[in-house]
Amino acid sequence: MGVLRPIARREWLRWAAALAAPLPLRAEDAWPQFRGNPQLTGVATGTLPAEPRLRWTFEAGEAVESSAAIAGGVVYVGCQSGHLFALDLATGKERWRYKAADLEGIGESSPAVVENRVYIGDLAGVFHAVDAASGKALWTFKTSNEIKSSPAPAGDRVLIGSYDGTLYALQAATGALLWKVRTDNYIHGTPAVAGGLAFISGCDEVFRALRVSDGKEMYQFPSGGYTGASPALVDGVAYYGTFGNEVVAASLQSRRLLWRFEHPQRKFPFYSSAAVKGDRLVLGGRDKHVYALTRAAGQPLWQFATRARVDSSPVICGDRVYIGSNDGRLYGLDLASGAKVWEFEAGAGISASPALAGGRLVVGTQDGRIYCFG
């Protein structure tokens, strides 16, 4: 029988650190960018308890319009104070904060996490790449106007839209400009990426497909209206709402609109980006309602009334829809019927979109709080 040897201090510290470290999330159970994936479908692959409980609250100090990213057991989220925060998903403890902008702050641009880098844009028009572990700046790139679009990682490059009307493709590792494409108005929404193409439904009322490798425009067609929302891509169709008071479905094959939905009585914009799963899509309207429509024809399935406009974009998790409202509430709705099954009253408007991974849902509010449920 062998003799048990004492554990060396260095070995013991390594062993203890390994036990204390949070388990990394599986790659498929992360929310690494706005809407959760490159196609911007807003569908979570993980799970959430039927009755989510508040796990922690973090005081960011100023309004949080940026939607969180979750990767490797860490929450990354921007704030109007100009800070990008990294928070422990399990506890809410701050790991680091990065100061992106002094005066203008971070608006709706939401972080994207790829390998060891976190990307985000600010309202001064600067795009940042930050080391995910340390919060140290890696590189920055200056555009000519504010950035409200969220980063779209695409292989060895990252795409970002600016209010200077330009979509930029930057080398992910260095920030070097690879190409840029000028449009005729702001780029507010986030590009969706699929099949080597980037798709933008722009404020110039034009839907564009651009080749990720070199920025060449492969095609364009009228988008159906001034569009601030980001397109969700499913089975060769893009779904998005417009400021022309419509939700549209656009075929990427025939390059035309397949259908339009407009409320028969109320005229209002759709600012929320759609979540798409199965035979339906869900999004919020500025008429204070959440809508579910059929993917096939845009027929209304149900609507749920809140007390204020709904700019937050929904997340679908299993048979539930989670969405915030400017009435200060986060709602859990039944995907099939639209019935309310859960509610949390935050007390301040929620225009940011929920992020969901690792059995946790994270969302920020207009009074500067970040909430985690699970």
Domain boundaries, the chain: 152-189+191-272
Average pLDDT, the chain: 93
pLDDT higher than 50, residue 367 = yes
Q: How far apart are CA 313 and CA 303, in angstroms?
A: 15
Question: DSSP letter string over 59-71?
Answer: E-SS---SPPEEE
- Look-up of token digits 């994270």: 362
Q: What is the pLDDT of residues 8-41, one digit of tens each?
A: 334 333 333 332 333 333 445 899 999 999 999 9
Q: Note the pLDDT of residue 29.
A: 87
User: What is the percent of the chain with per-residue pLDDT over 70, rounded to a whole number?
Assistant: 93
DSSP string, 99-147: E--SSS---S---EEETTEEEEE-TTSEEEEEETTT--EEEEEE-SS--
For the stretch 78-94, pLDDT in tens is 999 999 999 999 999 99
The residue ranking higher by pLDDT, 27 or 370, is 370
Give the pairing type, strands 280-284 and 289-294: antiparallel
CA distances from 76 to 25, 248, 345 (A): 14, 31, 23
pLDDT of residue 16: 32
Tokens 């601030």 identify what position? 228
Q: Which CATH architecture has domain 152-189+191-272?
A: Beta Barrel (2.40)
Task: Tell me the average pLDDT across 217-244.
Answer: 96
What confidence score (pLDDT) does residue 28 get?
Answer: 58
pLDDT for residue 103: 82
Reported as a single tens digit per residue, the pLDDT across 314-362 is 999 999 999 999 999 999 999 999 999 999 999 999 999 999 999 999 9
